[in-house]
Every structure is written in C-alpha cells, then in structure tokens.
Amino acid sequence: MKKTFSLSKRLKHDDAARDSKPAYEKTYEVDMSEFPTDFVRNFGIIAHIDHGKSTLSDRLLEFTGTIGKSSDNKQVLDKLQVERERGITVKAQSASMIYKKDGHDYLLNLIDTPGHVDFSYEVQRSLVACQGAILLVDANRGVQAQTVANFNLAFCSEIQILPVLNKIDLKNAKVEETCAQINNLFGYAPEEILKVSAKAGTGVPELLDALIERIPPPSGDLEAPFRALLIDSWYDKYRGVIILIVVKDGSLKIGDEFISHKTKQSFTVREIGIMFPGETPVKELFAGQSGYVIASFKASAEAFIGDTLHSKAIQPESLVTLPSAERSNPMVFAGVYPEDQSRNSELRSAIERLVLNDNSVRVSIESNPALGQGWRLGFLGLLHMDVFCQRLDQEFDAQVVVTSPSVSYKVKIKGKKNIKTFGSEMLTVNNPVQLPDPLIVEEYYEPMAEGTIITPAQYMQEVVSLCVSRRGEQRSVQNIDQDTVLVQFKFPLNEIIVNFFDELKTISSGYASFDYEETGYELTSLCKLNIVINDKICEELTQIVHTSRATKTGRAMILKLKENIPQQMYAVALQAKVGAKVLAREDLKALSKNVTQKIKSGSDQTRKQKLIRAYKEKQKSARMIGNILIPKEAFMKVLKNEK
C-alpha cells in the first residue's frame, strides 16, 4: 500500500540546471522525527548505461506518491540540460520518498547514479552513503561490462545488493537467459532476482517491499553529538553554496553550528531540507537521514565532498571521521581556453563553480602562446571531458577551446645533477611540452588499464583483432552463456581513450560493451613528437606518442594541418620530427602571383626573368622572418578528436 500526499501546487519540472532558481516550491512539510533509523532505507540504483535506471526512479517516485502520475514524468531526477539532451545520467541525484508498509511509514532515500564508466566516481561516492543497491539488468541486452564493474563496486562496499531484471515486457526479452548470466557471474539464484518493467510499472510494488525487507537500516546514535558525511555540493546563484549530507549521529536544525573537519571552519545552518524530489525545507534532520543544508559558506572551496562535519561538542583530536570514497585520479588531460581572452575571469569563476559539483576534475593553470591563458584539466574520460565543456557552455555561457586529450606519463631521470634540478627522480608529465630531454631520461612509464569486453561470440575474432591493433594483451576469456563471451585485455590507456569504443561498437554491430579501470604504470618506449612549421616548433601541437606510433601519427597530423592552413605569400614547410629526425613532410605552396603581368607581350625576356628572380628572393626572405598565421579553427581541427 502506498501513501499519497496532496499537493497545494503542482510541482513544476523544467530543464534548468541546479544553478537556476529552484523549480520546486515549498508546498508541504515532512516531520522527520517520525522516521527513526529502523524506518529508514538508503539505497542506490546501479546499472550499465541505458538499462533503465532513470525510468525506474520515475516509477518509484510515482508509486510512493512523491510525484503525481503523468506522461511528463520522464527523467525527473535528470535535472541537467545535458542529461536530458543526451538521454544519459551524468550526475548522481538523490530523492526521498515515503512508503507505507505493514502500517508503518518508511523513509526511502534513493540515489540514481550514472551508468557510463567515465562517471564511476559518482557511483563510488554514492554507494558510501547507502546500505543497499539495486543492480539493474536489461532483460533484452543481458549482463554488460558496466554491470560487472558496478557489481564489483557495490560488493567491495559491503552493502546489500538486490538483482533486478528490467524491461521484461519487451518482445525480445531474454528473461531466463539473463537470469542464467546473473547466476553464473554473481551467484544469485533465479528466485532471488526481482523482475520489473520500469516503463509499465510492473513489479514495482514488490520491489519496494523487497527494499524494506532485504536492505538493512542505517546504523547511528541519535543521542550522540552530530556527525555527518558531505556527499555532494552545488552552487545556486540565488542562495550560494548548497551541500548534501547524510547524518550519521545526532541531529541538525536551523541555527545549529557545525565544524568542517578538513577546513576547521565553523558554519551556521540557515536552511535545511530533503530532496522530495525538489528542495523541501524541514525542521530537523536526524541520524540515518539525508538532506540538503544551506549554511554560511563564503566560497565554493569551503565545501569538500567526503568531508566529515561534526558538532562543536566533539573535539578535533577525538573525532572519528566517516569513511568516504577515495577521490578518483584523472586519466585524460586537456587544455581549456576561453575563445575570447577578455572573458578569462568569467571562465575561471565558471570552472570553480562547476568543479564544486564535480570534484573528480583536477585543475591547474596553463598558458599557451597561440591560445593565451587557460587551464589544464584532468578528467576521468573523453565523455566526462565532453560533458564538462558542454555544461560550461549551457550553465555559464562560457565558450571554450579544448586541446587534444592526452594521458599522464611518468619518466625516471638519470644523473644526480639532473635529479637535483627537477627535484625528484620520478616525474609525472601531464603536458607534452614538459617532457624532459631524452638524453637525461633513463626510463619511460605509461598508464595501463584492465579492459573488460562482453560481446556475442560471433564477433569474437574481430574484437580480438581490434584489441591487438591497440597494443592489447589478452588476459582471460570466460563464456557467460553459449552465445556471449567475456574477454579481458590489458591496454595502454592512451590506446583506448580515443575512438576505441566507437570502433568496438562498429565491428560488433552495436552489441559489444566495454569497461575499463586503471591498473598502474608500466615500462614503455616513448618519444616527443614535434610539429615544425618553417623550422619553428609549434608547441600547441606537440604530443607524447609510443615510438611505434610516431610516424603514423606525425603523417596524419601533417596532412590535416596542410588541409587547414591557408596559403601564404611564400612557401611553407610542414614537418613531423622526433628530435632531429624528420618523420613526415608536406609543403604548402605559395600563392601564385603574375609578376610579369604589367609587361607587354613581345617585351625583352631578360626583363621578365629579372622580375621573377626578384620575386623569388623576396619570398625567401619573407619565409625566414615571417610568422605563419594559423587560424584557431585549424588548431581545433588538428587537435580535436574527430570521428
């Protein structure tokens, strides 16, 4: 049985991001004291991309009466414009629901997580705040790569996992086969697997009952001093910094003061509430419950995700900090520059506020002779980078230029004098320009990744060929069922961040799925590839490549550069070089000029030759002192990863 709440005003849903004026207005209050820890359940939904997480969240909100039933209830928790446009979840969102079972009202706190590998950090930090998770599997597609990865994350977090089969109403649903896959990989018996149709609502009431019965309540001491974990934060231009917390012990109400363990600063609560599913103010939050807090934060940098907040009654030396997800190390680095340098300060502010909402991004200042002042940003993947830049545009109206993505390398310096100069024997290089001279480098190391591919058996040969062409090393093969194979390869990370997934989908007719995780650094052979224009190194196009890829990469860049640089008044030489060795060369011919046009026909030929020789000398001198004007569009076409 579900409990329905009457709303005095209809909840207004729009496509605005969180930094816009709230679309939900206060229409009712919830007495949080009615929900002791025994009647609270905190859970997340984890799955491979496009397996129906957001749709299931919509049905859960409907069946609990949190939102009214409407055909407009699609992606209710996907509040970002980029999420609605792309149809994917990129930011974990929470919502509280009240559900009546056996005469008791239960508070269910749901966290809807992303499914793409690039946003795995969102999943990790969400699971820290939960005692259980719904592992959602599409009955039409079966178990896929990110399903396995998310199961491992939840299993290592030691939380209760509920296997749920979705889309059972589809014509091509393979219910029995998918249950067999779940049993083979995760060990769940068919009778333990719940079966639902998130779109039609079939099986959702049974799922709600199972959540209460099989997920344990949170542990916490209501009588102890206040302690809470900060799990999310965002910026609102009307109200400033807003944080999302899970209360471990004690309680918190308006006017209370708490201390940040990381900054040691004290903050006063101005507003407190729950996401129901919009921001709904309440009087107080108690142990085991989660909600948002608006306090006296003066700057975005004062809110750290994973921070332990505590009462003044707890002395810092006696504080037991709450466990949190380790901050993910970025795998892909790129330079981000404003298209208009006069808007540099605006872009700085936009990046700071967006990083507050996505603290898996690493930021450092960088300058570029061609593009001006900018930032070197570290991301968890190419999609993460693409979404971040799109959010800059949509939420802050910041148009940016993004350089070619690269990974982080390590080099071992030889010679005591050189080690003293660099300050360390082992250097981490995120920018190709910073790679030391090969004469002082003893060893190079590149990041490696363990890749998991699940593919129909009929495409196995093509998949293996693709992996080998990307310098992959096969580690294991496992038959999930008679038609599906799970294969693991070890890859250099640089080989799979660009276009690998697209090629995999192409050769497998869209059926294969891919997931990876970083496994550390291994010894390799690297070189710095320089693009030289008229004997001048163009640092903006410098890349670190594996020695076996240098010639192929250099020729491709030279050809693309030749296509996009306009002709000059003099000839231009384009070269790809490693050290002093030229790997590829193309010449851009000079604009032709008829220097003898003014001479009448039949005139002396020596005069014509004199004019031609003078023009050639002028070209030669111009080439020596001239600066090639390379349009910004040409840089982008060369640097950008185009399909």
Binding residues are 47-54, 112-116, 166-169
* Cβ atoms of residues 167 and 198 within 8 Å: yes
| 8, two tokens | 């005095």
Interatomic CA distance for residues 515 and 501, integer angstroms:
9
Ranges of H-type helices in 173-285? 175-186, 204-214
| 53, two tokens | 């997480």
Residue 166's alpha-carbon distances to 148, 150, 199, in angstroms, are: 16, 16, 9
Locate tokens 């690039």: which residue? Answer: 118
Look at residues 380, 439, 382, 438 and name the one whose alpha carbon lies nearest to residue 405. 382
DSSP 8-state class, residue 312: T
Interatomic CA distance for residues 101 and 212, integer angstroms:
9
3-state DSSP helix/strand/coil % of the chain, to nearest 5: 30, 30, 35
Q: For 216, what's the count of Cα atoms within 13 Å in the CB-facing half-sphere?
A: 8
Interatomic CA distance for residues 111 and 45, integer angstroms:
6
Who's near 396: CB < 8 A, 6+ residues apart?
Answer: 346, 349, 350, 353, 354
Interatomic CA distance for residues 519 and 169, integer angstroms:
40
In this structure, which amino acid lies at residue 500? F
* Cβ atoms of residues 519 and 348 within 8 Å: no
* Cβ atoms of residues 291 and 251 within 8 Å: no
Look at residues 111, 369, 347 and name the one whose alpha carbon lies nearest to residue 246. 111
Phi, psi at 365, each rounded to 5°: -80, 145
Interatomic CA distance for residues 470 and 552, integer angstroms:
13
Enclosing H/E stretch for 514? strand 513-524
Apex 139 CA angle, 134 and 142, nearest 5? 90
Apex 413 CA angle, 409 and 416, nearest 5? 160
Residue 225's alpha-carbon distances to 38, 72, 131, in angstroms, are: 19, 43, 22
Look at residues 206, 217, 312, 301 and name the one whose alpha carbon lies nearest to residue 256. 312
| 503, two tokens | 């090629």
Interatomic CA distance for residues 289 and 220, integer angstroms:
10
Tell me the binding residues for GTP: 47-54, 112-116, 166-169
